[in-house]
């Protein structure tokens, strides 16, 4: 893998890695203003791994303009049908300049941070220092594996094991082979158990642990929440491969669900995994670089057709009022992506299409960077029990997941502090009567054949992701083939339907030609990711 610069990439850019303090609203002068520091160290690089302020607009966790507007919404968002889009020519085509940006963000952001951490760690002079900083290195794997798995989910084989050679001590670029996607996934699943076991056995070091607490912008020093993150990610990855390798997936999931004390999972809002919006740098509505412009400046806030028209509205889902705004008729209507474009434009111009709710999403300055919600874990548990009889009853986990999703999204709505001048008032929380009505509705109630139940689980998981986590929704849609979405053919384009994967960036073909040649045959839009076997 090569950077856009063909000859040299300077290690000095690493000094621009910045993150947020866990104990202050504003960034710590020393940790998060690396220009004041002579050289990077492991704690600063760890913070930069979690949130790279110098690349904030492309950040893939906090809602930022560049990533949302040019990549996330027009590609994963469209391919998962989690926002409403018009039937324009070329609608499924990949914007290669922007897939290049997403690819490059990973390698010059999270991956390079970890690479530099590893170099510093390997050069430590004493075993005592290595033992102390091992906490940073073990936990950094959790975040790195999460980010890397997302890359695999979109591209398949990627440079990984040799990509660390890109940044050599001299700053010279070296080519990197593409690693097998399945081997990487299995490595992550196995390594996450090692990390979880390490954290279970960890003995607090009074010198290094406070440094870790200060550098940890996600879980603010909570090792329990890092365990939860590791185990939740391991569960997600195991279920992701479960149709391709059911035996391995079942073994891993059985181990996790059978040992909740050793391997705790996300179960509540309090122990969910996210970056809380706080301070100047971690706000969500930050001028042109924030969540507001991402949705409101380019027609990305139209409500999706299937989610509203076929699922939520017929079921009287209370999440409607925190997900979307009503149209000119005081009703909810999603934009059907398969209608004639003239009909769509007429609906839009007459304000007949609902919009993504601005109070919850686009003008919510406290919108967090969401990594794991409680509902996702409950839906994965429900699927595991329905298929294998593992863990708690599928119906209980399924209904719990819906309740958790309702609670979570009303919680997000209530975070809005009117910082964007919206004169916002929180929506009335869902009542028990509303929830029971939803759970008993025809499209939601847990009944039917096993396949129909699995469809309901997958559909609710997809809905809970919302457009913000469309990359996960797109992966789960390809894995399960649910919900049953209709994508009309775009006969004007050679890419007439959504792709099964993203094409490799042009820079890979140009600057890493030998290694690209080894994967050229797989570089097709219809080549499926290894776990996509349905």
CATH number at residue 481: 1.25.40.390
> Over 60: is that where the pLDDT of 171 sits?
no
**Looking at residue 174, what is its pLDDT?**
65
User: Which token pair is 375?
Assistant: 């509902």
- CA dist 118 → 82, 164, 256, 441 (Å): 38, 9, 29, 53
What's the pTM value of the predicted model, to 2 decimals? Answer: 0.93
pLDDT at 56: 86
Rounded to whole angstroms, how far apart are CA atoms 480 and 239?
Answer: 10
Q: Is residue 216 part of a domain?
A: no
Q: Is residue 379 a part of any domain in this protein? A: yes
Query: What number is the average pLDDT over the span 279-294?
Result: 84
Enter the tokens of residue 154. Answer: 């979109």
Residue range 239-259: mean pLDDT, rounded: 99
402 part of a folded domain: yes
314 is a domain residue: yes
How far is residue 270's CA from residue 280's CA, in Å, rounded to a whole number? 23
pLDDT at 9 over 60: no
Check whether 478 has a pLDDT greater than 60.
yes
Q: Is residue 366 part of a domain?
A: yes
Is 24 contained in some domain? Answer: no
> Is residue 501 situated within a structural domain?
no
pLDDT tier at 88 (50, 70, 90 boundaries)? very high
d(CA 409, CA 374): 11
Rounded Cα–Cα distance for residues 230 and 223 (Å): 10
CA distance 175 to 184: 19
Count structural domains, the chain.
Answer: 1
Return the number of other C-beta atoms located less than 10 Å from residue 414's C-beta.
18
- Is 225 within a domain? no
Range of the domain at 447: 272-488
Quick one: pLDDT band at residue 80, thresholds 50, 70, 90? very high
């Amino acid at each position: 893998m090569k950077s856009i610069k063909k000859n040299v990439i300077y290690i000095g850019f690493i000094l621009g890695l910045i993150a947020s303090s866990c104990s202050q609203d504003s960034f710590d002068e020393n940790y998060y203003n690396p220009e004041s520091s002579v050289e990077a160290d492991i704690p600063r690089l760890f913070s930069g791994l979690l949130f790279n302020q110098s690349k904030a607009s492309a950040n893939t966790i906090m809602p930022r303009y560049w990533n949302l507007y040019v990549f996330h919404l027009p590609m994963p968002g469209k391919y998962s049908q989690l926002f409403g889009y018009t039937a324009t020519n070329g609608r499924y085509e990949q914007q290669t300049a922007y897939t290049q940006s997403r690819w490059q963000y990973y390698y010059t952001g999270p991956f390079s941070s970890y690479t530099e951490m590893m170099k510093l760690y390997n050069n430590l002079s004493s075993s005592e220092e290595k033992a102390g900083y091992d906490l940073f290195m073990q936990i950094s794997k959790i975040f790195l594996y999460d980010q890397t798995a997302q890359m695999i989910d979109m591209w398949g084989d990627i440079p990984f094991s040799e990509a660390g050679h890109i940044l050599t001590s001299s700053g010279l670029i070296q080519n990197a082979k593409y690693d097998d996607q399945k081997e990487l996934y299995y490595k992550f699943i196995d390594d996450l158990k090692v990390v979880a076991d390490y954290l279970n056995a960890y003995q607090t070091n009074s010198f290094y642990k406070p440094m870790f607490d200060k550098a940890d912008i996600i879980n603010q020093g909570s090792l329990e929440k890092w365990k939860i993150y590791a185990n939740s990610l391991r569960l997600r990855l195991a279920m992701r491969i479960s149709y391709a390798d059911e035996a391995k997936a079942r073994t891993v999931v059985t181990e996790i669900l059978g040992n909740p004390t050793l391997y705790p999972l996300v179960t509540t809002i309090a122990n969910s995994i996210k970056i809380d919006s706080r301070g100047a740098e971690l706000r969500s509505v930050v001028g042109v670089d924030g969540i507001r412009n991402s949705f409101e400046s380019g027609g990305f806030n139209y409500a999706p057709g299937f989610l509203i028209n076929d699922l939520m509205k017929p079921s009287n889902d209370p999440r409607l009022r925190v997900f979307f705004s009503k149209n000119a008729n005081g009703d909810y209507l999603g934009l059907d992506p398969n209608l004639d474009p003239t009909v769509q434009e007429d609906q839009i111009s007459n304000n007949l299409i609902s919009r993504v709710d601005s109070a919850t999403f686009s003008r919510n300055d406290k919108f967090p960077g969401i990594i794991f919600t409680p509902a996702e874990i409950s839906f994965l548990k429900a699927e595991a029990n329905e298929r294998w009889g593992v863990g708690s009853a599928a119906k209980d986990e399924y209904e719990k997941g819906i309740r958790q999703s309702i609670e979570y999204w009303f919680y997000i709505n209530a975070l809005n502090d009117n910082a964007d001048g919206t004169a916002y008032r929180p929506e009335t929380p869902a009542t028990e009567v509303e929830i029971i009505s939803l759970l008993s509705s025809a499209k939601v109630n847990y009944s039917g054949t096993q396949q129909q139940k699995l469809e309901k689980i997958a559909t609710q998981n997809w809905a809970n992701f919302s457009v913000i986590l469309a990359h996960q929704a797109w992966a789960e849609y390809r894995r399960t083939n649910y919900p049953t979405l209709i994508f009309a053919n775009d006969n004007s384009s050679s890419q007439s339907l959504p792709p099964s994967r993203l094409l490799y960036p042009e820079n890979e073909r140009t600057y890493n030609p030998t290694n690209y040649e080894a994967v050229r045959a797989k570089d097709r839009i219809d080549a499926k990711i290894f776990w996509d076997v349905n």
